[in-house]
Amino acid sequence: MSELLIQGPNKLQGEIHIHGAKNSTLPLMAASLLCGGQCILHNCPILSDVDTSLKILRYLGCRVERSGSDVAIDPTSANEYEIPDLLMREMRSSIIFLGAIVSSMGRAELSFPGGCELGPRPIDLHLLALRKMGVVIEEDHGCLKCSAPNGIQGACINLSFPSVGATENIIIAASRAKGTTVITNAAREPEIWDLADFLNSCGAKIQGAGESTVVIEGVKSLTGCEHSVIPDRIAAATYLTAAAITGSTLTVASVIPEHIAPVIPVFEECGCQIDVLDHNIKITAPKRLGRIKSVRTMPYPGFPTDAQAPVMAMTTLADGTSIFVENIFESRYKHVGELMRLGATIKVEGRVAIVEGVSRLSGAPVEAADLRGGAALVVAGLAAQGTTLISGLKHLDRGYESIEKSLALLGADIKRI
């Protein structure tokens, strides 16, 4: 079993190029099932979740080839409608294949998904929406058996919560539906826009992606296309926190600054200087960070829940008390206990976490319980005195491409053992 060994503290310097967004790549791969020709995705990150999606596509009968960050998917030979339980359990996002399989095959069978345990993330919104679109769904001992006897139909769908996954599933299923689908209270994340851009390039008719109302006019068929995945805004935010906690100056390159705008005020509030030029963000951190009065996670364009853990790690060494309110997932404070093993002072009451900055952190053995919590431990370990040993790397590898190599190139004393 691999672990990360970090000797700290070390300052970072230089420039890091951000890989493609995991949360965009997965729905793009699922959507390729609807196409009548080869799809080529550029800037695909090398992550375990992406590997799982490739396994799913191959199992379904697609021809898939990968060369570096380029992935070619030919769905024309797809002939399966079932995803094995083992593959479903490897990642929570596997539910994104549901709408695509039903749309392309007329039926689908899959079990409930696995992945990080962040508390209830019900797929009820996905199922309710697909039922409105004419999909018959039977739930049997943890297995979903779905069919569309009359094809997928356009519908008006009002989401009770702007779920990213549900919005993506609806958009994918509606792209080749009969009639027009209107989603109100849709998720507005950049990954939604990226998905719609891909499908429109394939011949879909989607309007309003990135806004609260999305209109999809179903078409009979889609072609293949070439598409570049947007940069990973959460990875970018993570490296910004690594620079901030170590008092470093760092350039985060190959990003879309607009996508990272919700987290920029947090860095400025704690005393960092942020300079944006084209697709680069330069952060210059003070010797010691100031506190952050309040961070409240919200759907985009609010502060992203995925950035909460790394930013919390950053505030453990801030001068003063920072307050976090987690409004998206109930169990997203699993990293708190591990940060406290490093010497952090944090108190959790329900959805609220209160962080009292300390003068120093000390290295210790810690374990990542989920993806972003693992990133928080890396960020804290970079600034901790002595040796930090991080286990549970299977979570980190789901969302960060060789994070130890990237940080080592920036000056960190970190290696995988």
d(CA 217, CA 387): 56
Among candidates 368, 385, 391, which has minimal Cα distance to 309? 368
Beta bridge partners of residue 296, listed in sequence order = 325
Chain centroid offset of residue 271 CA: 27
* Per-residue DSSP letter, 359: S
Check whether 23 is labelled as a binding-site residue.
yes
Task: Tell me which H or E stretch contains 338.
Answer: helix 335-341
Check whether 306 is labelled as a binding-site residue.
yes
Check whether 92 is labelled as a binding-site residue.
yes
Check whether 125 is labelled as a binding-site residue.
yes
d(CA 72, CA 225): 10
Q: How many CB atoms lie within 10 A of CB 333?
A: 23
Among candidates 209, 187, 211, which has minimal Cα distance to 198? 209
Q: What one-character-per-residue DSSP string does 99-138 give?
A: HHHHHHHSEEEEEPP-S---S----HHHHHHHHHTT-EEE
245 neighbors 382 (Cβ within 8 angstroms) = yes
Residue 361: partners with Cβ closer than 8 Å, 6 or more residues away: 316, 317, 342, 343, 344, 380, 383, 384, 385
Check whether 40 is labelled as a binding-site residue.
no
Structure tokens at 393: 């790397």
336 neighbors 350 (Cβ within 8 angstroms) = no
List 62, 116, 202, 272, catalytic entry: 116
396 neighbors 335 (Cβ within 8 angstroms) = no
The vertex-49 CA angle with 395 and 101, nearest 5°, equals 140
**Does the active-site annotation cover 116?**
yes
Check whether 87 is labelled as a binding-site residue.
no
Among candidates 275, 270, 271, 263, which has minimal Cα distance to 237? 263
Check whether 328 is labelled as a binding-site residue.
yes
Check whether 122 is labelled as a binding-site residue.
yes
d(CA 392, CA 371): 9
Among candidates 59, 131, 46, 139, which has minimal Cα distance to 94? 59
* Per-residue DSSP letter, 154: -
d(CA 355, CA 320): 8
Binding-site residue numbers for UDP-N-acetyl-alpha-D-glucosamine are 92, 121-125, 306, 328
Binding-site residue numbers for phosphoenolpyruvate are 22-23
Binding-site residue numbers are 22-23, 92, 121-125, 306, 328
Q: Catalytic site residues? A: 116
